[in-house]
Amino acid sequence: MSLAIRPLPAFTDNYIWTLSLPGRNAACVVDPGDARPVLDYLAKHELTLSHIFITHHHPDHTGGLAELIKRFEPVVYGPDNPGIKGINQPLAEGDELDLWGYRFQILEVPGHTLDHIAFYCDQGPAPILFCGDTLFAAGCGRLFEGTPEQMQQSLGKFTALPPETLVYCTHEYTLANLKFAIAAEPDNSDLQARIDRESEKRRNQEVTLPSTMALELATNPFLRCQSKGIKQTLQGRQLNTDSDLEVFTALRQWKDNF
């Protein structure tokens, strides 16, 4: 049986991802910043919470931990950061965990925060990636703690994954990111087609996630630092484009003030 993965909206634009298996009365949630949507979902579907995945320490990803742990005593996987109260299975690069027979590999992906990790599973119909706030649909996370070099290296771990990998990030930032992406690369026809598709989804109040690595490689400017179109745009803004790192840094600084 395949994992069922569903988004629970939280706050203004967060998604708490839920994982379950048909016939099993247990659930796993990813980055529960708020306990209430999780509790409501579990009650509605008569599930217990057996596992939690945490990608990094920001409150909108960890705020529901205390209440959920008190109610269910789940196994809590997350980064080896003592500042996150409740993690009982700290993880590092290369570690693996088993969730109901599915093997998840851990990737350390600093940049957005220094403790950030991602959860990757290559079993099932398609590989799946829970990437927190490192990679977004058509974007990437702000550099609150890490450096551009760290973030670019982290994103490189994702681009090495199979193109069919399903990308589950944790915010509905897609349309805002696409607005920036088309400004950076206006002649990208794949990008314009994506804007049309995702805009239609949001008009219908549909979730734009998951994405795929193939789609991100074709339309995400932060993964396209070798694009001639992006370099031309940045040069027109008198920004350095001599190396991929300079392109990435210029894009991230521009996006911060876009």
Catalytic residue among 51, 57, 112, 116: 112
51 is catalytic: no
112 is catalytic: yes
DSSP of 41-78: HHHHHT-EEEEEE-----HHHHTTHHHHHHHH--EEEE
Adjacent-strand bridge partners of 14: 10, 171
60 is catalytic: yes
Choose among 83, 85, 135: nearest CA to 109: 135
CA distances in angstroms from 100 to 39, 70, 221, listed in the order given = 21, 22, 36
Choose among 151, 141, 139: nearest CA to 219: 139
Catalytic residue among 51, 57, 116, 171: 171
Catalytic residue among 133, 190, 242, 256: 133
Catalytic residue among 31, 58, 115, 116: 58
Strand 26-30 vs strand 48-53: parallel, antiparallel, or unpaired? parallel
Catalytic residue among 60, 115, 116, 196: 60
Buried b (16+ CB within 10 A) or exposed e, 115-134: bbbbbbbeeeeebbbbbbbb
Give me the amino acid identity at 230.
Answer: I
Q: Are 73 and 62 in contact (CB under 8 A)?
A: no
DSSP of 83-107: TSTT-SEEE-TT-EEEETTEEEEEE
Catalytic residue among 51, 57, 61, 116: 61
Q: Are 241 and 224 in contact (CB under 8 A)?
A: no
Q: Tell me how crowded residue 207 is: count the other CB atoms within 10 A of its CB.
A: 13
Catalytic residue among 31, 51, 56, 116: 56
Choose among 251, 44, 60, 86: nearest CA to 169: 60
By annotation, the residues acting in catalysis are 56, 58, 60-61, 112, 133, 171
